[in-house]
Structure 1
Amino acid sequence: MKSANIWVAGTFVLCSGFGTAVAQLSKVEEFKSWPTGSSPKEIGDRIAARFIITPHTNFNRPGPPKSITYPETCTWYGALTFAKETGNKALVRQLADRFTPLFGSRDTLIPTPDHVDRTVFGAVPFELYMQTKDPRYLSIGKRMADKQWGPPEGKMVTADSHRFYGKGLSWQTRLWIDDMFMLTAVQTQAYRATGDRMYIDKAANEMVFYLDSLQQPNGLFYHAPGVPYYWGRGDGWMAVGMSELLRSLPKDNPNRSRIMEGYQKMMATLLKYQAEDGMWRQLIDNPDSWKETSCTGMFTCAFITGVKEGWLDKKMYAPAARKAWLALITYINTENDITDVCEGTNKKNDLQYYMDRKRNTGDLHGQAPLLWCATALLR
């Protein structure tokens, strides 16, 4: 409770890890100076401004969505954390103004929390609550976070929903690696906003179940059971999910060491597969697949966080993170959209399916990790 309360009072890392983070930051030379136009503040300002004028999007498809989609949620969350780190009150107001219609005439845009991809929306009102103290945000965030632990209900209920719920897991468990950002992000935010350890302790238990079920001996993750491919963005969700969870997970949580082991094992293998120019590929271990920006942003964020928190050797990982950031931002076009973003991807046991995924421009799957990286570098 104490750590969470200190976070709400104005810091962005838990008290137990704050000294380590500051000490690491002061020593990481690679994160101190940047070529003109490439600093996290400059890039973050550009991408956040682009998001402000972006309407609610439907997975890069024409027409507005019926409800807010998770790529928008992730970008909104990233813009809010970036605004906090830069002390940009005007940006916070703009991001809060984007939410205002959801309290009234456009409340149907709030996703129904019946699936991990929709429930993650709760991370946004939790962040707005912590920055504005408006209790309306807290109410919405708690409703969504609590629903993941309630009994199965709604149109997304399956036989597995009841099976997993019976084991003490979320009924929204489905064993896709994407879940370990979608679920842990909202639950970690719930802990940060309320100080109630129930949220983050359950999220850690869920993470261990996914690690035990999906992590391969080399530290990477198949997209899902029966889909033996190391899809870049899928593994990216896991990388960021673990680093966000660990950043706030209390040191006395019994699952912390298991999650840290899984995280460090993954990071070591990702380091081996980073391309010479700093990027990662659509299929991580396949040199014939194309270089992809959303996974590169996610892996870069996980590296930066690990270096800042003292979990990764800064001599090995800080130069890799810097190289990745400087490579990634070259994919930002004159409209402040990032290019070469893998389109939304279902699971399929077909190598060519992953190799042939479209390269989108301006897809919020790619915009969000840029803001996460900027935040992590400034934190």
Structure 2
Amino acid sequence: MYKRSIIFLMMWLPALFAGAQKNFLTGFPKGYTPEEVGRLIAYRMVYSKHALHAGKWIGYPETFFWTGALHYAQLTNDKMLQGFLEKRFEPLFTTEKELLPIKNHVDLNMFGSLPLTLWQLTKDQRYLNLGLPYAQTQWQVPADAKPEEKAWADQGYSWQTRLWIDDMYMITIVQTQAYKATGNAIYINRAAKEMALYLDELQRPNGLFYHAPDVPFYWGRGNGWMAAGVTELLRYLPATNPHYARIMKGYRAMMASLKNYQQPGGMWNQLIDEPDCWAETSGSAMFAYAFITGVKKGWLDAATYGPAARKAWMALVGYVNAQGAVSEVCVGTNKKNDKQYYYDRPRATGDYHGQAPYLWCVRALLEQ
């Protein structure tokens, strides 16, 4: 009898223990639940102004904020919110058509991820027709392409390749959404090949990434773009893809390093490895999204990363005010080989760079 009891416990305890660890991502106190925080931030999108790239086109921070709000509406079955967000888009087919981004840069082509998301929610053909060209032109070399852009294309990569870590969300998100919308593997395969290139070229021995090869600093949101991009790709990339193992290895190496650099309060700093730098919200939310998703998908050890993910979320919520605006967000940042430049970047409240990643965390926490 005693032996059988021991065997029973040995068989069931691992499963029970794993389930208990996932409970780190549930049972949040009032004011900290993903439903409450998500609603506060998502509805802010409804009445927010456009954030234009170069003063001309819908910019990537607004695109991601918009998409995050749509995912929240879908997961909570908030038809009213989804209706508001669709209505906001409608002028882009008519009176605001000039705000549609041109298709010549990673920061602009990523806009296609928004109409492709709307297509999946509504099946309105206009969204698909608008969104797909943004994914397609990322691999169609223009006549006036520079020699280095043609060289990347000749190797099967996007002609928009520039080896900035930001690219690994911008390129990945539009290609992944095109794959989800059409089922055509060409899009996800492109994204995987591109990701493997960036991992091989840019990942440092400690698992993190310089902002660019000529900028040797571990900038928080820059690494956040990579963390979120590789996570988003792995959500949909078939395990049979030839780059899957390389990408998963790179993801896990990054997560292990991020775990080591998480501050005692749960956040990550503007320069990740500088203890005296300030805690920054957009990058921290991107890292939290990667942790939450990794635990839920079983890519990361739940006992190790579950508590870290919960601690990050609990810390992040403290930066959201009553109007749903996130504070301590590093403003838009170009690369610069000057460490002090990153220390001195202005901090904003309500900047869309910070609003969107919070909604990614909300989505990851709400998804089953």
**Which of the five TM-score ranges fits, normalised by the shorter chain?**
over 0.9
User: Contact 1:181–1:240 at 8 Å: present in 2 too?
Assistant: yes
Aligned positions of 1:43-192 closer than 5 A: 43-58=37-52, 65-153=55-143, 157-192=145-180
User: How far off is 1:159 after superposition?
Assistant: 3.1
Q: Distance in 2 between matches of 1:229 and 1:169?
A: 26
Q: Distance in 2 between matches of 1:38 and 1:219?
A: 31
User: Contact 2:67–2:114 at 8 Å: present in 1 too?
Assistant: yes
Which of these residues, 233, 246, 249, is aligned with residue 245 of structure 1? Answer: 233
Q: What are the Cα deviations for residues 324-378 of structure 1, in whole angstroms up to 9, with x where unaligned? A: 0110110112322111100111111111111111111110000000100000000
Which of these residues, 340, 344, 350, is aligned with residue 338 of structure 2? Answer: 350
User: Contact 1:25–1:308 at 8 Å: present in 2 too?
Assistant: no
User: One-letter code of the match for 1:261?
Assistant: K
Q: Distance in 1 between matches of 2:321 and 2:232?
A: 28
Q: Distance in 2 between matches of 1:341 and 1:159?
A: 37
User: How far off is 1:146 after superposition?
Assistant: 0.3
Q: What are the Cα deviations for residues 292-339 of structure 1, in whole angstroms up to 9, with x where unaligned? A: 000000000000010010000010111111110110110112322111
Consecutive unaligned residues of structure 1, counting only runs of 5 or more, are: 1-22
Flag the 1:24–1:84 CA change in 2: closer, same or farther, 3 A: farther
Flag the 1:145–1:26 CA change in 2: closer, same or farther, 3 A: farther
- RMSD of equivalent CA atoms: 1.5
**Aligned twin of 2:3:** none
User: Contact 2:40–2:323 at 8 Å: present in 1 too?
Assistant: no
Consecutive unaligned residues of structure 2, counting only runs of 5 or more, are: 1-16
User: Contact 2:21–2:303 at 8 Å: present in 1 too?
Assistant: no
User: Contact 2:330–2:345 at 8 Å: present in 1 too?
Assistant: yes
Q: Distance in 2 between matches of 1:82 and 1:335?
A: 17
**Aligned twin of 1:233:** 221
Corresponding residue SS for 2:210: coil
Aligned positions of 1:159-308 closer than 5 A: 159-308=147-296
Q: Distance in 2 between matches of 1:153 and 1:186?
A: 22
The TM-score, its normalising length taken from structure 1, stands at 0.90
Aligned residues: 351
User: Contact 1:223–1:231 at 8 Å: present in 2 too?
Assistant: yes
User: Contact 1:184–1:241 at 8 Å: present in 2 too?
Assistant: yes
Which one has the largest radius of gyration? 2
Q: Distance in 2 between matches of 1:26 and 1:91?
A: 33
User: How far off is 1:93 after superposition?
Assistant: 1.1
**Aligned twin of 2:10:** none
User: Contact 1:152–1:165 at 8 Å: present in 2 too?
Assistant: no
User: Contact 1:24–1:307 at 8 Å: present in 2 too?
Assistant: no
Identity of aligned residues (%): 54
User: One-letter code of the match for 1:370?
Assistant: Y
User: One-letter code of the match for 1:92?
Assistant: Q
User: How far off is 1:225 after superposition?
Assistant: 1.1
Q: Distance in 2 between matches of 1:141 and 1:51?
A: 21
Q: Distance in 1 between matches of 2:96 and 2:18?
A: 44
The TM-score, its normalising length taken from structure 2, stands at 0.93
